Amino acid sequence: MKNFLQQIFASLIGTLAAIALSLTLGASGLLLLVLLLGQQSEPLVEDKTMVVMDLSSSIQDTEPILSLTEALSRDPGVVMPLRSVLETIRKAAQDDRIVALVLDARRGGNAFNGYATLADVRDALSDFQKSGKKIIAYGVNWDEKSYYLAAIADEVVISPLGNLELNGFGLQPVFFAGALEKYGIGIQTVRVGNYKSAIEPFTRQDLSPESRQQTEQLLGNLWSRYLGRLAQGRELTPQSLQAIADNRGLVLASVAKQQGLIDKIAYWDETLKTLESLGVAKDSTPKEGDDPDRLRQISLNSYRDVSVKAKPRRQSKNKIALVYLSGAIVEGRGTLDNVGSERFALILRGLLSDDQVKAIVLRINSPGGSATASDTILRETQRLQAQKPVVVSMGNVAASGGYWIATGGQRLFADPMTVTGSIGVFSLFFNLEKLGNNLGLTWDQVETAKLSNLGSTITPKSEVELTIFQGAVNQVYDVFLDKVAKSRNLPKSKVAEIAQGRVWSGVDAQRLGLVDELGGMEAAITYAAQQAKLGDDWQVQEYPGKKSLEEVLAERFLNTQLATMLKPEAIDNGWGQPWKKIKRELEPLQSFNDPQGVYSRSPLFWDSSNW
């Protein structure tokens, strides 16, 4: 009955939305919507064409479903799934019609593309070069993430007035303790793990010594890996790059060329003339001016829809299920933007009974969340692992509850720049007593036992109550240690030593035994196919599947997001960027729905910085 009512409601929402759109937009608006949502014909690719990759595009594990506002906006932004990017670059390498790939950073880079994601893309670009085709990178101003990809190019070009950012990795976490105290909102915490710093933004006004230590070590490891990859691509030394970061930070175009960071200083129209030498100019168009239409080109986003007959997409009845667990881990079904335990448990149970699914890859890109929800998903992962190979691929962040789930895999892959670990547990308790008193509010109570109001958010917790909650947190932490020790075949004492809520880079995680191999998503998929003994007879099936428009509309109507509650006019004025940073730091609070109030989550600033 519940599912029936949900289906009826979803259909009703879809119908009402269509009526509202027809009244608001008219015929032309509906036609636009149809064009946006409809299937497009395959783009035409001529001989001697270049593929252009816009580095301002967002690369995510899965392609998000746009809201209607985003879908109808003039520039909703290009978002490409990671596997699609990798497959498209590989396809371009095999396509005889494609002669070059251009990395276009004229609109800057996308700050929210994580380094683990970019590492996979960088490897695909390296394979493209091995086909003998050129990669040209052009930017007005190169930021560190865009340059991470550009450094591999055969030729890196910068605008005469541009600059290149090379100033190291830094974090500036926001602390709310002073503001909470100012407005009379009390907060108490219990935790296990000296490094479990997820609670610190609400309890301190600066980093604790432990948090500073782990952050410095983690950032240092990530930065060292970054410098190593740049040095490899540009035939420089990490030491020379470090000197530039220490003494310059923003490198002017002339200095960047002198230091060997780039190959050429040129305007875009001059770069177009260089590209003509690759044979991509249209013969019928005069080779004058800066009109890009005179070149045969196709965007990477459009080229992914092009079929290449020489090597068709892999088809097989044998499926490798690629399950994306992206976002905070929450109880219940969750939303489109997080990992709901009920929804993903159902998906995993379905894979267990599906005879065509021969192996499973869990792609985890999550800072954690509810301990109860994480354990629910882990249980279904373990049931799967008992019957079929389950391999874990860690994305930019796979920590706390994300690592809890990962312990169910038989082999764990992480990128060297993955942020993982954070094996620790905490609880947060807000109370409104002081705020209420300041407003003239008072409370009374009636109890049938001394602890009847144990879960109250009105008054602070007593020492007895905090002791009870500390016991619950200790128990969950002990279970966490047991699961890691058994999964990783490590002594529990060793796990306790490297846990403590501490976050590690992928390199350190492998050294400590928390992961097995350093590699990206494709490496994990290949390993899963080998474990299932499938040879070349397999194809990837992605989960969760795409939702219908009616389901998306119903879900957006039924779920109130914290983001919609944090949209003051300040977002559009001069201090909009600081406000957006604070907003991103606060958004994870909406995922705090564990029935026991116990969470395994990495520090908030690691989640929002998209490493």
Residues tagged active-site: 196, 400
Q: How far apart are CA 195 and CA 99, in angstroms?
A: 51
340: left (phi over 0), alpha (psi -120 to 50) or beta: beta
DSSP 432-466: -HHHHHHTT-------SSTTTTTT-SSSPPPHHHH
Whether 138 and 157 have beta carbons less than 8 Å apart is answered as yes
Tell me how far the alpha carbon of residue 567 is from its chain's centroid. Answer: 23
DSSP single-letter state for residue 193: -
Name which of 353, 358, 275 is nearest 320 in CA terms.
358
Whether 133 and 82 have beta carbons less than 8 Å apart is answered as no
3-state helix, strand, coil in the chain (%, to 5): 45, 20, 35
Whether 323 and 363 have beta carbons less than 8 Å apart is answered as yes
Residue 155's Cβ-count burial label (10 Å; 0-12, 13-18, 19+) is: middle
Which residue bears the tokens 């003509």? 276
What are 450's two structure tokens?
Answer: 């001394």
Phi and psi (nearest 5°) for 211?
-65, -40
Whether 140 and 158 have beta carbons less than 8 Å apart is answered as yes
Single-letter residue type at 565: M
Cross-strand partners of 321: 360, 541
Name which of 47, 58, 46 is nearest 85 in CA terms.
58
DSSP single-letter state for residue 590: G
Q: Is 299 helix (H, G, I), strand (E, B) or coil?
A: strand
Q: How far apart are CA 416 and CA 484, in angstroms?
A: 20
C-alpha Rg value of the chain to the nearest Å:
26
Q: How far apart are CA 595 and CA 331, in angstroms?
A: 8
Whether 359 and 568 have beta carbons less than 8 Å apart is answered as no
Q: How many CA atoms lie within 13 A of 99 on its CB side?
A: 14
Q: How far apart are CA 146 and CA 148, in angstroms?
A: 5
Single-letter residue type at 510: Q
Single-letter residue type at 55: L
What are the distances in angstroms from CA 558 to CA 13, 334, 546? 10, 11, 18
